[in-house]
């Protein structure tokens, strides 16, 4: 397996299967993070926009949730670069 295939396989394990509603919710959180909002504010905004997917995050778990969204944000950037490199 080449490094790109290994990365994609591992990212699929980390991210897991998501419904289209979950993907939309995650995109909303990421949008607010890109705008400089804290993870707590980004989740609040996403919860208002997507109440069916709303997260209730305990303060003790906010670091884990933040790490998850940091990973999603980095993964999205990597995938954009790969698509550009392939001419898509």
The total number of structural domains that make up the chain: 1
The whole-angstrom distance between residue 68's C-alpha and the CA centroid of its chain comes to 7
**How much is the pLDDT for 13?**
93
- Cα-Cα-Cα-Cα dihedral of 18, 20, 24, 30, to 10°? 30
pLDDT tens by residue, 9-51? 999 999 999 999 999 999 999 999 999 999 999 999 999 999 9
Residue 26 belongs to domain spanning: 3-85
Spatial distance between the Cα atoms of 19 and 44, rounded to a whole number of angstroms: 20
Residue whose pair of structure tokens reads 């926009």 in the numeric block: 49
Put residue 17 in one of left, alpha, beta given phi > 0 → left and psi -120 to 50 → alpha. Answer: beta
């Amino acid at each position: 397996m080449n490094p790109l295939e290994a990365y994609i396989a591992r990212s699929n394990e980390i991210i897991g299967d998501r419904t289209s509603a979950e993907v939309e919710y995650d995109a909303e959180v990421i949008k607010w993070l890109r705008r400089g909002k804290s993870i707590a504010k980004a989740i609040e905004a996403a919860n208002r926009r997507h109440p069916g997917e709303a997260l209730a995050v305990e303060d003790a778990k906010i670091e884990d949730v933040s790490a998850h969204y940091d990973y999603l944000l980095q993964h999205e950037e990597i995938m954009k670069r790969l698509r550009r490199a392939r001419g898509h």
